[in-house]
């Protein structure tokens, strides 16, 4: 009697079905934890319906899992997508990381569903999602790097060759903890940037202390990246401008740019940072599309 064929390995079945777009999505979920249906559709798909069909397929293949947080006053939010265990297996195989823990997906999903600052995480991700969405329909633009906040949480994460060795001894103490970082390219010009995503839950003096920490980082290292502050309202922005104008930066005052109105395209900040201070900042309001990083900055090391 003919022996039955062995069942197809689930990971091989998944890898046989993966597209380049799926690879990008799984990599984002691995690095950044969670994205909503709308975020995924905006950044990667031509329509919400197309995105929903593909996400259902990836869920059946156990590449992704999903949950829906409840709203405080009834109802629920859209689906939030995270990696399922086979998604972790696939990303680890693609990146040469070895097999992940067998319960890695379960542990991370549990951590994300119980995370008190989940709206902050999603809000920070939204800034990069909007950049990726713009790049999807503009061939001369590209988000070529998107780093999560966790990339800068380890001691020595900011140290680079040519920097002060004391940075290693100090660990993360006294240095900024950005909510993300990226490199944006437009018309063959690239600019790296740090993101500070504000939800107004912190006092304004905490934000100005962050500026001081960036200045300390730049004074002790070769970093020279501008900082993009995303603020929830025009009033919050105006109050921060008023307080931050007195913050000294390398002998100069920190140049915030106020943007109260927006064109249909994401905003471009065109003013270069003053010399010698390497810090510049652009503030955006949550009621408007997030700003594109400065596109006409001088050459920066990254």
| Residue 162: other Cβ atoms inside 10 A | 8
Supply the pLDDT for residue 55. 98
**Are the beta carbons of 126 and 120 closer than 8 angstroms?**
no
Supply the pLDDT for residue 218. 87
Supply the pLDDT for residue 265. 33
Q: Choose among 71, 68, 88, 62: nearest CA to 80.
A: 68
Supply the pLDDT for residue 164. 76
Which residue is listed with tokens 């379960």? 106
**Are the beta carbons of 232 and 202 closer than 8 angstroms?**
no
Q: Quickly state the pLDDT bin for 279 (edges 50, 70, 90).
A: very low
Supply the pLDDT for residue 183. 96
135-158 pLDDT, tens digit each:
999 999 999 999 999 998 887 787
**Are the beta carbons of 106 and 266 closer than 8 angstroms?**
no
Burial class (CB in 10 A: 0-12, 13-18, 19+), 8: exposed
Cα distance between residue 300 and residue 93, in whole Å: 33
3-state secondary structure of 216: helix
What is the pTM for the complete model shown?
A: 0.81
Supply the pLDDT for residue 248. 64
Which residue is listed with tokens 């020279």? 224
What separation, in Å, do the N-terminal and C-terminal C-alpha atoms of the chain show? 64
How big, in percent rounded to 5, are the helix, strand and coil portions of the chain? 40, 15, 45
Q: What is the DSSP letter of 152?
A: G
Q: Choose among 142, 129, 111: nearest CA to 28.
A: 129
Asked if pLDDT for residue 105 goes beyond 60, the answer is yes
List, in sequence order, every residue forming a beta bridge with 282; answer none if it has no partner. Answer: 228, 257
Which residue is listed with tokens 């912190």? 202
33-61 pLDDT, tens digit each:
999 999 999 999 999 999 999 999 999 99
Work out the percent of the chain whose per-residue pLDDT is above 90. Answer: 58
| Residue 163: other Cβ atoms inside 10 A | 16
Q: Choose among 195, 181, 190, 180: nearest CA to 141.
A: 190
């Amino acid at each position: 009697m003919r022996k039955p064929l062995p069942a197809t390995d689930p990971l091989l079945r998944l890898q046989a079905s993966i597209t380049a777009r799926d690879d990008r999505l799984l990599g984002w979920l691995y690095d950044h934890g969670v994205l909503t249906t709308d975020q995924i559709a905006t950044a990667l798909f031509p329509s919400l319906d197309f995105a929903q069909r593909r996400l259902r397929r990836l869920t059946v293949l156990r590449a992704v899992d999903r949950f829906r947080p409840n709203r405080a006053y009834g109802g629920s939010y859209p689906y939030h997508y995270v990696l399922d265990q086979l998604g972790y297996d696939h990303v680890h195989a693609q990146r040469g990381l070895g097999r992940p823990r067998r319960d890695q997906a379960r542990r991370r999903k549990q951590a994300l569903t119980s995370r008190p600052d989940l709206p902050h995480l999603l809000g920070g991700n939204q800034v990069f999602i909007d950049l990726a969405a713009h790049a999807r329909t503009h061939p001369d633009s590209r988000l070529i790097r998107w780093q999560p906040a966790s990339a800068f949480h380890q001691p020595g994460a900011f140290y680079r060759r040519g920097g002060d060795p004391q940075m290693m001894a100090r660990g993360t103490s006294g240095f900024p903890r950005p909510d993300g970082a990226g490199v944006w390219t437009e018309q063959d010009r690239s600019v790296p940037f740090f993101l500070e995503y504000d939800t107004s839950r912190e006092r304004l003096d905490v934000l100005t202390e962050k500026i001081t920490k960036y200045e300390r980082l730049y004074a002790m290292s070769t970093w020279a990246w501008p900082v993009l502050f995303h603020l929830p309202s025009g009033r919050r922005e105006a109050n921060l401008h008023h307080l931050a104008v007195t913050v000294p930066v390398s002998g100069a005052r920190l140049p915030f740019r106020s943007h109260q109105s927006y064109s249909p395209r994401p905003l471009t900040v065109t003013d270069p940072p003053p010399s010698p201070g390497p810090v510049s900042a652009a503030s955006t309001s949550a009621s408007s599309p997030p700003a594109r990083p400065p596109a006409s900055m001088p050459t920066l090391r990254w």
